[in-house]
């Protein structure tokens, strides 16, 4: 008993915490209780007309069914219910009229009608375009069958249909009234907040990926939830995942938001909710690049820490400027303001430009020039080397001359680590990593790779830095698309000019 | 009238086509009609007991509501309905007992009960863990309120509860019986087919991306649907998009599949459906790399066609082997067979290895060595060049020597295009592209870039090939994870050994 009591306390505490995290949920539950109470009282006191209790179930059913969390969902369900009921009422009265004139065949006719209605309604609702009206089809079918079946015995076709309709109207009136008039919860607002949250999430992922990459974060073992794209609490992962994952949630919120009348901040008639979803889609298009950046962090082939150090400042600046852009855009979006300056992306483009130039200058660090002649060339390339020497030089000598100064030496001088240590460490970690890379194990017969293989991986690992930088620059390029989508939204939704010009500008 | 007739004909034709594309939908609709017909006949002929029509609505309601497309969904809804009704019946009888003993306060007590029940049920169902039982809460609330309200007038609390329960049981029995016994439609089978389809889709995207990249496919104008991640019919895009997008569909199918009893090919008790979703997640993890590959095709910065030609065979081979692996895995998955050979990934790993080596040898093609000394170095790097010369050589001279043979020359010899034409074309398209790259326009004051900028873009464009190759190799590395997930599934689901060892092995 004591354990049960403790369990109950724990549950109550959880419920309390849940309500504190989003008080709207408590309000919603209280509204539901209130609406049911009102309907029950109306039935008890026989307002507005007598003998309600006989069909009272319809009023209660309607309240329970159309009372949804957001106004948009409630209106959409209410519309479905109303349309379904009216259509079914009309058609079933017609069907009843036909069946009564056929005399002896009445039952047969009614049963045929029920089968046909059941078939058609179930078939049509499966069309993808009919998905939003799924509930309406159910209501139609239910009402149609009910009126025919119950009217058959009682001969009160019209009375059944009419009293039913009044009670549904009563339930719908109370439900809609309570839900809309008392502390309304708008799907549009939820959509707005969801997209704003995605901006922050993507910005956090970007910061996480760039910082993680520069700090050479490595997963000892990549969590299997990441490998199978399940929800997982990782600063680099969760942000972009939830942005990518929110499509279905956005779609349903969008469908409900369309039902909501102009309200609060969203005063325009036919508010452009679909542009909100377009902005979110453009953000997602950027998030895919961050996904790929995270892929570089997850990869078994990793650039040596020394070369990351050389590009450290440039990479970091692009990361900082990129996430600043995302955060600022998210903030403006949340506050429904236009962009402050014409060249919103100036800083991040400049940072990307600097990174690009740095890569350009230092591109010899990204390749492994030692292998240009050392590796045996495949057949297809041999003839090119053996062809009459147009440059008038020996190819092998030429390649030898291209070799840039050893990376570890210049890095060592810069960071006062001896060059020997640097390269030993580098080679070591590469060999280790090579053994881990799962794809290797299957076709490497010798356990320790020969010198040629290890050089190949050195090259791969250096190129992985180039990949990271390219993806980051591509991310920056995609920001323009996001800004375009945002400006289109500003136009359509009539966002205001920003009020407080910040002092920093 | 003629137009209306024509419109009707068009609709009928659409309906016919829709049914032909998936005959299960026609069967489902017919089953629904049949179930309703049976219930109506039972009520008409007063089987199994008399005076059913008074509460007949409950039987019809139950059939309409629990009749879902798949068996799993039907069982899940039926369970919710049953549990909700039983709980509500028990609790409402207790509440009615309490309210009658309080005498004059009866209405007040009943209304308090209704409010509390409405509040708690609506609050608890908002907990994320309760989401699968959302319908059960609705049924509970409806039944609880209905019994209290209708019983208050008629004093037939018990009779209302009992007759209601019988009619619901009748409706549920007919609905479940018809849906399960006649041509059952299984959610598990849908899940199986969905994942198998994703394999094919991802394979097609991979082929599309690699071939498109080698044929230098460029979008004149990237479709805005791709930029905002909406559905769009593009061979590179639609395949991976639907694989990435199918998470929510998989989750709901998974929830329903868990309700289904062992059947057909899925004979094991507690069938491991969640492993199916894990395999799909691992496939998605691979698809993200294809997404990034597609990003390279979409990018404004493109590698020159000449250098793509040089890596053509290697890239192509990885693409072919990779999509072969995906198609084979998808086929085995569909047929529920284990992997044929221990080294399933041998060929694709070998292809990736060859590509990696080729990149290693030819890495001078991926960078722009001309800029190693020509570009002005940022301040942070200057002191490194001016520091006491440890190599005993002039840095600028050194850098000059690194220059590899001009790309266009060696390519020209290979493809009998004159080297001049090659480089002129290259420079031209680079300049053009630079003007298109949206990020440029905002901070380039001069309309035509100076020579320094164009060199920077030359380097960026060459590195973009390295990025493509790296991403492709990372994709291959991720295949191991997919194979692991698949083998885990084979173990858990007890897949059979492949029967027909193909002759090619």
Residue predicted with more confidence, B368 or B308? B308
Give, in order, the Cα–Cα distances in Å from A157 to each of A97, A146, A147, A154, B267. Answer: 9, 10, 6, 8, 49
Contacts of A148 in chain B (CB under 8 A): 40
Measured CA angle at B154 (ends B152, B160), to 5 deg: 90
Whether A164 has a pLDDT exceeding 80, the answer reads no
Contacts of A380 in chain B (CB under 8 A): 313
Residue predicted with more confidence, A435 or A81? A81
Q: How many CB atoms lie within 10 A of CB B290?
A: 30
- CB-CB under 8 Å, B292 with A291: yes
Residue predicted with more confidence, B460 or A317? A317
Residue A231 is predicted with a pLDDT of: 82
| 3-class DSSP assignment, residue A362 | coil
Residue B115 is predicted with a pLDDT of: 93
Quick check: B236 and B203 in contact, CB under 8 A?
Answer: no
- CB-CB under 8 Å, A474 with B301: yes
* Stretch 229-258 of chain A: residues touching chain B, C-beta under 8 Å: 229-230, 244-245, 247-248
Residue predicted with more confidence, A227 or A103? A227
Rg (CA), chain B: 34
Which range among A60-64, A83-87, B390-394 shows the weakest confidence by mean pLDDT?
A: B390-394
Nearest residue to B33 (alpha-carbon basis) of B172, B175, B169: B175
> Given CB atoms, is B30 within the 8 Å cutoff of chain A?
yes
Whether B8 has a pLDDT exceeding 50, the answer reads yes
pLDDT class of A398 with cuts at 50, 70, 90: very low
Burial B334-345 (b: 16+ CB within 10 A, else e): eeebebeeeebb
* pLDDT one-digit tens code per residue, B416-443: 323 333 333 433 343 333 333 443 333 3
* pLDDT one-digit tens code per residue, B98-118: 888 887 888 888 889 999 999
Q: How many CB atoms lie within 10 A of CB B196?
A: 19
Residue B310 is predicted with a pLDDT of: 84
- Pairwise CA distance, residues B403 & A402, whole Å: 6
Residue A235 is predicted with a pLDDT of: 81
Which range among A70-79, A202-211, A318-327, B413-422 shows the weakest confidence by mean pLDDT?
A: B413-422
Q: In this complex, which of A32, A56, A459 lies closest to B122 when CB atoms are compared?
A: A32
* Minimum Cα–Cα distance from B63: chain A residue: A142
Residue A358 is predicted with a pLDDT of: 84
- CB-CB under 8 Å, A387 with B405: no
pLDDT class of B281 with cuts at 50, 70, 90: very high
Which range among A134-148, B91-105, B284-298 shows the weakest confidence by mean pLDDT?
A: B91-105
* Stretch 351-380 of chain A: residues touching chain B, C-beta under 8 Å: 352-354, 356-364, 366-369, 371-372, 375, 377-378, 380
Which range among A480-489, B354-363, B371-380 shows the weakest confidence by mean pLDDT?
A: B371-380
Whole-number average pLDDT of chain B: 78
Q: How many CB atoms lie within 10 A of CB A275?
A: 18
Residue B103 is predicted with a pLDDT of: 77
Quick check: A249 and A337 in contact, CB under 8 A?
Answer: no
- CA of B269 to nearest chain A CA: how many angstroms apart? 24
Whether A417 has a pLDDT exceeding 90, the answer reads no
- CB-CB under 8 Å, A401 with B301: no
Return the DSSP state at A261: P
Residue B450 is predicted with a pLDDT of: 44
- CB-CB under 8 Å, A357 with B115: no
- Pairwise CA distance, residues B212 & B293, whole Å: 10
- Pairwise CA distance, residues A112 & B6, whole Å: 27
> Given CB atoms, is B295 within the 8 Å cutoff of chain A?
yes
Q: How many CB atoms lie within 10 A of CB B462?
A: 22
Quick check: B354 and A378 in contact, CB under 8 A?
Answer: yes
> Given CB atoms, is B107 within the 8 Å cutoff of chain A?
yes
| Site from A291, A360, A413 to mutate, B interface, most B CB atoms within 10 angstroms | A360
- CA of A446 to nearest chain B CA: how many angstroms apart? 15
- Pairwise CA distance, residues B406 & A108, whole Å: 89
Which range among B15-24, B223-232, B427-436 shows the weakest confidence by mean pLDDT?
A: B427-436
* pLDDT one-digit tens code per residue, A116-130: 999 999 999 998 888
- CB-CB under 8 Å, A371 with B360: yes
Return the DSSP state at A102: T
> Given CB atoms, is A288 within the 8 Å cutoff of chain B?
yes
| Site from B62, B119, B300, B344 to mutate, A interface, most A CB atoms within 10 angstroms | B119
- CB-CB under 8 Å, A474 with B295: yes
Q: In this complex, which of A145, A349, A470 lies closest to B60 when CB atoms are compared?
A: A145
Residue B446 is predicted with a pLDDT of: 35
Whether B254 has a pLDDT exceeding 90, the answer reads yes
Nearest residue to B200 (alpha-carbon basis) of B333, B18, B337: B333
Residue A141 is predicted with a pLDDT of: 92
Residue A385 is predicted with a pLDDT of: 37
* Minimum Cα–Cα distance from B398: chain A residue: A404
Q: Using N-to-C axis directions, what is the helix angle for A247-257 and A71-101, rounded to 10°? A: 70
Entry field: residues in chain B: 505
In terms of average pLDDT, the best of A53-57, A219-223, A349-353, B1-5 is A349-353
* Minimum Cα–Cα distance from B477: chain A residue: A439
* pLDDT one-digit tens code per residue, B25-39: 999 999 999 999 998
What percentage of chain A reaches a pLDDT higher than 70?
76
pLDDT class of A429 with cuts at 50, 70, 90: very low
Which range among A391-395, B134-138, B347-351 shows the weakest confidence by mean pLDDT?
A: A391-395
pLDDT class of A482 with cuts at 50, 70, 90: very high
Residue B256 is predicted with a pLDDT of: 92
DSSP readout, A137-191? HHHHHHHHHHHHHHHHHH--HHHHHHHHHHHHHHHHHHHHHHHHHSS---HHHHH
* pLDDT one-digit tens code per residue, B52-63: 556 777 888 889
Residue B414 is predicted with a pLDDT of: 34
Task: List the structure tokens of B61.
Answer: 């309601």
- Pairwise CA distance, residues A449 & A445, whole Å: 9
Give, in order, the Cα–Cα distances in Å from B52 to each of A159, A162, B151, B171. Answer: 19, 22, 18, 12
Give, in order, the Cα–Cα distances in Å from B301 to each of B296, B399, B424. Answer: 8, 26, 17
> Given CB atoms, is B467 within the 8 Å cutoff of chain A?
yes
Residues 6+ apart with CB under 8 A from B414: A384, B310
Residue A200 is predicted with a pLDDT of: 94
- CB-CB under 8 Å, B367 with A463: no
Residue predicted with more confidence, A325 or A104? A325
Nearest residue to A65 (alpha-carbon basis) of B162, B157, B65: B65
Residue range B315-332: mean pLDDT, rounded:
92
What percentage of chain A reaches a pLDDT higher than 90?
29
Residue range A158-182: mean pLDDT, rounded:
85
Residue predicted with more confidence, A455 or B137? B137
Q: In this complex, which of B152, B228, B372 lies closest to A364 when CB atoms are compared?
A: B372
Quick check: A202 and A240 in contact, CB under 8 A?
Answer: yes
Q: B263 pairs with which residues across the strands?
A: B266
* Minimum Cα–Cα distance from A280: chain B residue: B228
Residue B369 is predicted with a pLDDT of: 55
């Amino acid at each position: 008993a004591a354990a049960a009591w403790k369990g109950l306390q724990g549950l109550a505490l959880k419920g309390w915490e849940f309500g504190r995290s989003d008080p709207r949920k408590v309000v919603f539950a209280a509204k539901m209780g209130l609406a049911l109470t009102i309907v029950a009282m109306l039935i008890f006191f026989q307002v507005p007309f007598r003998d309600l209790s006989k069909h009272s179930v319809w009023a209660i059913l309607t309240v329970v069914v159309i009372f949804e969390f957001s106004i948009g969902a409630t209106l959409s369900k209410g519309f479905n219910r109303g349309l379904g009921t009216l259509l079914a009422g009309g058609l079933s009265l017609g069907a009843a009229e036909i069946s009564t004139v056929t005399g002896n065949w009445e039952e047969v006719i009614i049963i045929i009608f029920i089968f046909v209605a059941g078939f058609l309604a179930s078939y049509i609702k499966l069309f993808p375009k009919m998905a939003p009206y799924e509930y309406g089809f159910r209501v139609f079918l239910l009402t149609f069958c009910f009126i025919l079946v119950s009217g058959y015995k009682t001969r009160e076709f019209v009375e059944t249909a009419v009293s039913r309709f009044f009670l549904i109207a009563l339930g719908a009136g109370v439900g809609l009234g309570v839900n809309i008039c008392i502390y309304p919860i708008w799907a549009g607002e939820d959509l707005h907040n969801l997209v704003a949250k995605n901006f922050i999430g993507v910005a956090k992922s970007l910061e996480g990926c760039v910082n993680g990459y520069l700090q050479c974060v490595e997963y000892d073992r990549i969590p299997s939830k990441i490998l199978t794209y399940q929800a997982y609490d990782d600063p680099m992962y969760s942000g972009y995942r939830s942005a990518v994952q929110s499509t279905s949630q956005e779609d349903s919120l969008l469908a409900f938001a369309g039902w909501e009348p102009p309200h609060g901040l969203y005063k325009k008639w036919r508010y452009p909710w679909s542009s909100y979803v377009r902005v979110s889609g453009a953000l997602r298009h950027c998030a895919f690049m961050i996904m790929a950046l995270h892929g570089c962090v997850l990869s078994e082939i990793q650039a040596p820490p020394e070369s990351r150090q050389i590009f450290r400042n440039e990479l970091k600046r692009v990361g900082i400027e990129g996430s600043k852009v995302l955060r600022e855009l998210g903030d403006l979006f949340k506050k429904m303001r236009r962009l402050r300056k014409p060249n919103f992306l100036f800083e991040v483009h400049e940072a990307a430009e600097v990174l690009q130039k740095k890569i350009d200058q230092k591109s010899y660090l990204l390749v492994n020039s030692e292998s240009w002649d050392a590796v045996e060339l495949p057949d297809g390339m041999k003839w090119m080397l053996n062809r009459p020497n147009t440059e008038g030089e020996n190819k092998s000598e030429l390649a030898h001359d291209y070799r840039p100064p050893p990376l570890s030496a210049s890095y060592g001088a810069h960071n006062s680590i001896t060059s020997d240590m640097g390269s030993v460490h580098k080679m070591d970690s590469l060999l280790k990593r090579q053994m881990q890379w799962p794809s290797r194990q299957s076709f490497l017969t010798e356990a320790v790779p020969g010198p040629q293989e290890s050089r190949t991986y050195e090259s791969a690992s250096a190129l992985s830095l180039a990949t990271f930088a390219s993806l980051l620059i591509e991310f920056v390029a995609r920001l323009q698309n996001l800004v375009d989508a945002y400006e289109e939204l500003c136009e359509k939704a009539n966002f205001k000019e920003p009020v407080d010009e910040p002092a920093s500008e």
